[in-house]
Structure 1
């Protein structure tokens, strides 16, 4: 049986060789937003992972939009030059199509790196002032953001467009805007974090207004033949927060603005809103948005095995899957999936000796994997 996971998909003018994407994952290893040697090693490895697409981590469109001091940015010439070097390296040695996720953390900015606790920066840690649609802190002990004024709205909107232009110059194949996980655009969308009384607050139409303005600004400068995607939330897991009906309405609006796909995730808006997690726990959200908005979707969230990913695509639950920590655990997860599902995937010439055609050990590795699965 031919694998559906390894069938190609076309988004705008770009064809991806398979339905697998490496999720954007923060590395907290940048210097004032500029990519480092860690990014060269990390992204260089994943560009040859067997995934059809590799999406660079949430990348701040302005300095105060970074989550942490170590977060990647694309707001300066120095940022652009450093990231261009990394992407040139990926193109030279990998086969994945390359994307970047643009983001603004809003009230979740000025925080510690994940391995330092992930809380708001203390006074001795060089914190910075944050912004949000309303002056509501993310959680107890977090900085209270300033409610965005007209000049803030204009600046951040333009910052997204400027970063999109920088991404175009670098040569990214696709662009993704982050409107989920409790970051700025998500803060506008949810009634629990947006208490504005102007045209950007209140009704769903008003709460969608600013995120759509940002997407429109990016779409205006991003080439039509290159896909534009948006990561959205399917559910806030909060009373009064975004539900599937609102997520579908937003996805419909995005489609009308020329967005080519949405990646459907959930949660992140409040520290107390924790979903019940299990294998593929968000895939049903991608399914509902796909059916309700008639737009290509990417499922994400505890998709770990090749069989699980195959089922998501084969059953029509989503058009693509994104895996994050599975690729950190096994940077060649795409090769594993291809071998498991009897598909072909491009590998660097230097590594082709590890394919079943040239290496008998591949068969033993497969037997071992099956025995380990059976033992669980």
Structure 2
């Protein structure tokens, strides 16, 4: 096998996929040029994961329609890779990177954490691409940026300025222990524990499925049988003024604010981006909720939190753009034997190991 040579990404197109527990978004991409952004999306499609038996089936369909002849793929997905397997409790099917490469006839398959991708994309976004959620607090000091999003799970990453570039630290923040902030939330935690949850993760309540868990817990605490089973149904009921649905949505917003405050405090974040997920459907509830109050309620750190702007990014292509941006920024490797184990475990710019088979 010949020594690895640096791939010139400017001469190639490739596939970037944003893989979630509910939807997978796939794009055919190339580097931008001239007045374009850093990444040009040539084709894009959104798939319902439950409609397909595997990720390979989704990608095969996309390649057949848009990417014939393309032999490189980068996947953004929650979780980590361990011994070739993506460790993620929210996916409907198992993912093996080597099997994907073999089944699809690809030269190279790479993996990055989904919020590592979102953090890469967020730095490409202009202020006009986001909605300010902290009125009167729009300017941020130089420093780390927290990127977070409640979707099928709760993802987060921290973007840290470093020299002329950035270091992006992916996290598994959704698996940290849920921290109640009032007596009602303490009762919700106890109820989850009584139902067998020895470890109650933050995303048990702060995620799309978490909103359903919230509503169910509040119904139980009020001696009412839950009648709503989906986040969208709970949101619509809240808009109609149904009391427990509205309490669930407002509690969700408050909890998200609390989690953002905790993570921003830990990371020393000077700004926050919320990357899509369920929040675009709930943003009209934020002004009536304790979202910002709970974010600020960090004791001695309150004056610091008061200066942290929070913005919501609503862009369905965010994960695809971020995965592609990461690929182009850090440069992957092409080996001389058609990519067998191409670039395996080569360190990326953040010092982590990129995953490729």
| TM-score above 0.5, yes or no | no
- If the length of structure 1 is used for normalisation, what is the TM-score? 0.29
* Larger strand share, 1 or 2: 2
Relative contact order, CA 8 A, sep 6+: which one is greater?
Answer: 2
- If the length of structure 2 is used for normalisation, what is the TM-score? 0.30
